[in-house]
Amino acid sequence: MKILLISPTVDAEKRTNKGLMMPQLALYILAGLTPQEIEVKVVEEEIDHIDLEQECNLVGISCLTANAPRAYDLCQEFKKRGKTVVLGGVHPTILPDEALQHADCVVVGEAEGVWETLINDFRNGNLKRKYHDPSPDLGRYIPKDFSKIIKKRLYNLIPIMTTKGCPYNCDFCCVTNLFGKEIRHIPIENIVRDIQESGAKNFLFLDDNIIGHPKYSKELFKAIKPLKINWVGQASISLLVGDDELLQLASESGCKMLFFGIESVSIEQIKIMRKAIQDIEHLESAFKKIKKMGILIHASMVFGFDNDTTEVFDDTVQFLIKNKVNTVSFNVLTPYPGTKTYQDMKKEGRLITTDWRYYDHNTVVFKPKNMIPYELQIGKVKARKQFYSISSVLKRFTGNLYNPIAYFATNYGHMKQVKVEAKRIAKIKSELF
């Protein structure tokens, strides 16, 4: 028996900048869960061509929202060729009935508790339509084979996940719907084993908040310190700067850059989002403290909240340049299915499209309150252009002298994307605006 595991691109004709990408962990977990006598092939369409004619018995496709239409096209192609197709991932979990219109079977939520049962059922000709384990055991070790990626240097970072679940249930996020309200941990010895067995030196912790449970995080950082790795991850800024020991341990364990979901520099919006950051001064002093530890800051900003006016773009960029932030992701608010934001916007008739290809947090798919959709779209593109201009890169460099190579390498990667994005928006303008 042979299983083909696929992560599709959004657009089969285009690939993302490799430097900004990482391997899709879900595929390597599925491969690790598959009984050894079964041959498994992993294909990430961002780097590999998908051969629709290849020999296999079962095809597993994992997708988010933006690449769901491509996943559905692939389902059709493989089914035409007599293959059985299973869909899983964020989007099929949120909309399993939509996914079942395209696939033979859907895995809802995490695959850890159901993948082996699904394979057995398939072998016995008894495949069910849906598989779901709401709280699989995270305690057992699942080997993940990244050797091909590391040998061929296909990606810069190897992904690791240490926790699942989030108690906050933010309006625009579906993580709580996906993984539940309770934070569940993967045993630290399994994380250490993942790192050691991968043979890699550079890692990305995929957790929505690598310090969400400070006691666990401190133990984790102490355990990985002797491994002498470099890592980047996402963290809550208020938790981190309120705990000096945590910040120190993160730095000592190899943390080189942290992503912070700042989202907005508007105090009204920060209050609405119930962020623990109370004011801009608080945020600025937090930045200083993190930089002192030699950790680069990547901020994630979101444009398009109901309070945002056309002034938001310039205010945001000025704030980020003034604080000499290393890199920034400029996103537009995206009403992903499964979130309260989606339900509200649908009820209010504010969705411009439900073509999921555009649900990529870069494209405006709704009517904002205080500007027209195209103003929001162009404002976002210009903010990125301004932040990654040569003068801004040079100005911000003085605040990031502690890691000049990483500073210029990461800024260069983002600068290259500015033109790509402007071209893409010009291309889709007539389709959406």
Residue 76 CB, nearest approach to ligand SF4 (Å): 32
Cβ proximity to ligand SF4, 321 vs 332, nearer residue:
332
Residue 273 CB, nearest approach to ligand SF4 (Å): 8
Cβ proximity to ligand SF4, 273 vs 378, nearer residue:
273
Residue count, binding to ligand SF4 (CB under 6 A): 8
Q: Is 274 exposed, middle or buried (0-12, 13-18, 19+ CB in 10 A)?
A: exposed
Phi and psi at residue 242, in whole multiples of 5°?
Answer: -85, 0
**Cβ-Cβ contacts under 8 Å for 336 (sequence gap 6 or more):** 65, 94, 172, 173, 174, 342, 359
Instruction: Provide the CA 276 distance to its chain's centre, in angstroms.
Output: 22
Can you give 236-285 as a three-state secondary structure string?
CHHHHHCCHHHHHHHHHCCEEEEEEEEECCCHHHHHHCCCCCCCHHHHHH
Cβ proximity to ligand SF4, 31 vs 241, nearer residue:
241
Cβ proximity to ligand SF4, 163 vs 386, nearer residue:
163
Residue 179 CB, nearest approach to ligand SF4 (Å): 9
CA–CA separation, 70 and 206 (whole Å): 24
Nearest CA among 177, 108, 158, 160 for reference residue 136: 108
Residue 109 CB, nearest approach to ligand SF4 (Å): 16
312 binds ligand SF4 (CB under 6 A): no
Residue 55 CB, nearest approach to ligand SF4 (Å): 40
Residue 170 CB, nearest approach to ligand SF4 (Å): 3
Per-residue contact flags (x/-) with ligand SF4 for residues 207 to 226, judged by CB under 6 A:
-x------------------
Instruction: Give, as ranges, the residues between 100 and 129 that touch ligand SF4 (CB under 6 A).
Output: none
Residue 363 CB, nearest approach to ligand SF4 (Å): 20
Cα–Cα separations (whole angstroms), residue 229 to 195, 384, 421 = 9, 31, 33
Cβ proximity to ligand SF4, 200 vs 273, nearer residue:
273
Q: What does the block give as tokens for 267? A: 């105090």
Residue 8 CB, nearest approach to ligand SF4 (Å): 24
CA–CA separation, 150 and 153 (whole Å): 5
Residue 292's CB: how many other CB atoms inside 10 A?
11
Cβ proximity to ligand SF4, 120 vs 169, nearer residue:
169
Instruction: Give, as ranges, the residues between 151 and 210 that touch ligand SF4 (CB under 6 A).
Output: 166, 168-170, 173, 175-176, 208
Give the CA radius of gyration of the chain: 22
Cβ proximity to ligand SF4, 108 vs 175, nearer residue:
175
Task: Let me know: does 327 contact 298? Beta carbons within 8 Å.
Answer: yes
Cβ proximity to ligand SF4, 149 vs 175, nearer residue:
175
Question: Binding residues for ligand SF4, per CB under 6 A?
Answer: 166, 168-170, 173, 175-176, 208
